[in-house]
Structure 1
Amino acid sequence: MRHGSRPDAGRSAMVRGALVAVLLAGGAVGCAGDGEADTTDRPPRPTTPAAAVNRAAEESESITSLRYEVRGTVSGRGRLEAEATMTAQPSTLSMTQTGEAYRGLRLETRFVDGAMYASGSLLRSDKLVGRKKWVTAAPAVWGGGAIENQSYLMVPRQLEGSPLVQSTLLTGSRDVKLIGTDKVRGKDAPHYRGTVTYDGLIASLKTGKTGKAGESGGAGEDAGTRRFDHFLNLEVADPLTMDLWLDPDGRPLQFRMRAAYDKKNAGQDLGPLDLTVTFLEIDPRTSIKAPPPDTVIPLKDSARRD
């Protein structure tokens, strides 16, 4: 039996978790004009879909901050939209969510210095008056693996993982194909598709191989472990279908992940996962800070989300 688990369910249950695949940014890297190619600074153009996907995973490792949006359907919450800005080191996040499960209301969350802060019209509390606009709880972790994450249900489980890691899950696929070239945010974007399974990710984790035919990525064992942990967050059943679009530099530009929810997680069908994540700006100058102390009250002294 394979299924994902909540962080507090224990590692043994988590490792049986359902497969999760997320669109990895693969990568056909745009070349300079004839006679202008810089062969010393730019590695050779990937020659196979698997190599392009692996290159994109390597490129994502160097991204330090990201502005992105999420659109689609989340298991148990229905349609959802989110806009977010994150940093990789340290791991911080500022995200605003809306959607049908929120009844037209808005929820803003921040993760800074090991604490979670939440604000918005979705929160209900007679104590959120005057300058008191935020609730907080700690310890809180966003962007970690299936065990580390703790968002106090303010962020859907599937959005608790970093999109920089989620975008590399396609390296665990054995059937990556180039579908064609699409326009994404006005750019010609190579479009790759593949399926990711629990067994495939386990195999790539054990062997260090990230593509088919023995092609390996350059992110190393630690990156493989992070991918597997992020995959478990999605709590879906095999197989997960992943589409990935790359920018002209071979970096992730957009990815889509689709799969059925693994009913073993909750004993009921909470609907499918179908999320599209679009990278709006790579390495923006950003600083995510905690709200002023006099605007914050502890979550336990307030009220949780309805």
Structure 2
Amino acid sequence: MLQGDTVYVKVEALNDFLGNTKPWIKVSLSETGHAGEVNQYLGQIQQFDLANMTKLVTASQDVKSVGTESVNGEDATHYSGTFPVDVAVQQLPADKQAQAREGLAELKDVKFDMWVAADGLPRKLALNGSKEGATLDATLFFKGYNEAVNIQTPPADQVGELPKGTTN
């Protein structure tokens, strides 16, 4: 989340790496002097646009239903399969294809699991793949379809600072 010149990031792996005990990390772009680097990271995060990530699975030729499970208290059909990255990227809008190819460049096939509710909309998507040291392991949740969004700064007691020296 970006508010003014402050970025609030909530990524569990980043918190673990930095030893942060609060769920959010605050980064002031004006203080770091590295706005370009932060914007690059934000761009990488934004490539995981939920709608576009879901389009990738439409390239699968082996998708199958593997049962019904609950996702956030809602019954959903669990589908599993794989998709070839080179074909899947072609399902994206033209302006998103180059970025997706770059982000998934080392992967050939990606395994996915998707949970779809009775309304036909996804509730959860898990993507996994690896090749020659490159890995992808992402789980995305979908909720609040057609609900108004009210984005607010996280409460101060939930926000940690980026440790000094990590942006130099």
Report how far residue 172 of structure 1 moved.
1.2
Q: Is the 8 A contact 1:243 1:256 kept in 2?
A: yes
Q: Name the structure 2 match of 1:104.
A: 20
Q: Name the structure 2 match of 1:168.
A: 55
- 1:230–1:189 Cα change, 3 Å: farther
Q: Is the 8 A contact 1:174 1:200 kept in 2?
A: no
Q: Count residues in correspondence.
A: 147
- 1:169–1:176 Cα change, 3 Å: same
| 2:138 paired with 1:275 | yes
What is the TM-score normalised by the length of structure 2?
A: 0.65
Q: Name the structure 1 match of 2:100.
A: 231
> 2: distance between equivalents of 1:183 and 1:289?
29
Where does 1:71-90 land on structure 2 (aligned, <5 Å)?
none
> 1: distance between equivalents of 2:54 and 2:11?
20
Q: Name the structure 2 match of 1:242.
A: 112
> 2: distance between equivalents of 1:179 and 1:188?
13
Q: Is the 8 A contact 2:86 2:108 kept in 1?
A: no
Q: CA RMSD in A?
A: 3.6
**Structure with more helix by fraction:** 2
> 2: distance between equivalents of 1:274 and 1:191?
18
> 2: distance between equivalents of 1:96 and 1:173?
31
> 1: distance between equivalents of 2:117 and 2:12?
27
Which one-letter code corresponds to 1:225 in the other structure? A
| 2:121 paired with 1:251 | yes
> 2: distance between equivalents of 1:235 and 1:105?
33
**More RCO (CA 8 Å, sep 6+):** 1
Report how far residue 244 of structure 1 moved.
0.9
Identity of aligned residues (%): 20
- 1:104–1:235 Cα change, 3 Å: farther
Q: Name the structure 2 match of 1:197.
A: 84
Q: Name the structure 1 match of 2:161.
A: none
What is the TM-score normalised by the length of structure 1?
A: 0.39
Q: Name the structure 2 match of 1:151.
A: 39
Q: Name the structure 2 match of 1:185.
A: 72
- 1:199–1:245 Cα change, 3 Å: same
> 2: distance between equivalents of 1:163 and 1:285?
17
Larger radius of gyration: 1
Where does 1:4-15 land on structure 2 (aligned, <5 Å)?
none
**Structure with more strand by fraction:** 2
